[in-house]
């Protein structure tokens, strides 16, 4: 119900000076810098991605490795059946071998097996 900017005391509000606002803004920025966690110079800084997308990327890689193993086994089984005339045994055996290979790749990449991806065993 008031017509203009007034303080609860009843007097007109005093506009802050431009320099005062700049000083307060700089002070706030320095306080925020002190409160923010320091960025790790590790993997997130190297790849340029935020911390939230790294698990999603690994999940996509794991699922791709598994599916690729199964699909490769199925394709090789189909070709072996077609060339050797052993329907459906070549497809069954190589599809299961692709499944096992896919699981092995997922375990190797995620670190559940003794071998790490891209590491030598020396």
* pLDDT digit string, tens, across residues 24-60: 999 999 998 888 877 655 555 455 555 679 999 999 9
Residue 122: which pLDDT band, with cuts at 50, 70 and 90?
low
7 in Cβ contact with 13 (< 8 Å): yes
- Give the residue extent of every domain in the chain: 55-110
In tens, the pLDDT along 51-89 reads 679 999 999 999 999 999 999 999 999 999 999 999 999
Overall pTM surpassing 0.85 (yes/no): no
In tens, the pLDDT along 79-121 reads 999 999 999 999 999 999 999 999 999 999 998 876 656 665 5
Distance of CA 24 to the CA centre of its chain: 37
Residue 85: its pLDDT value, please? 95
Distance CA 117, CA 19 (A): 57
Residue in the structure block whose two tokens are 């072996």: 80
What are the residues whose beta carbons fall under 8 Å from the beta carbon of 76, sequence distance 6 or more? 94, 98
Higher pLDDT, 6 or 110: 110
Distance CA 45, CA 53 (A): 13
């Amino acid at each position: 119900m008031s017509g203009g900017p007034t303080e609860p005391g009843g007097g007109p509000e005093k506009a802050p000076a431009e320099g005062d606002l700049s000083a307060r803004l700089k002070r706030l920025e320095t306080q925020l810098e002190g409160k923010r966690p320091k960025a790790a110079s590790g993997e997130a800084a190297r790849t340029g991605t935020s911390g939230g997308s790294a698990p999603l990327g690994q999940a996509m890689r794991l699922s791709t490795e598994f599916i690729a193993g199964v699909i490769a086994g199925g394709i090789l089984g189909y070709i072996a059946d077609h060339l050797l005339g052993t329907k459906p045994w070549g497809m069954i055996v190589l599809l299961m071998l692709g499944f096992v290979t896919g699981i092995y790749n997922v375990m190797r990449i995620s670190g559940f097996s003794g071998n790490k991806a891209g590491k030598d065993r020396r």
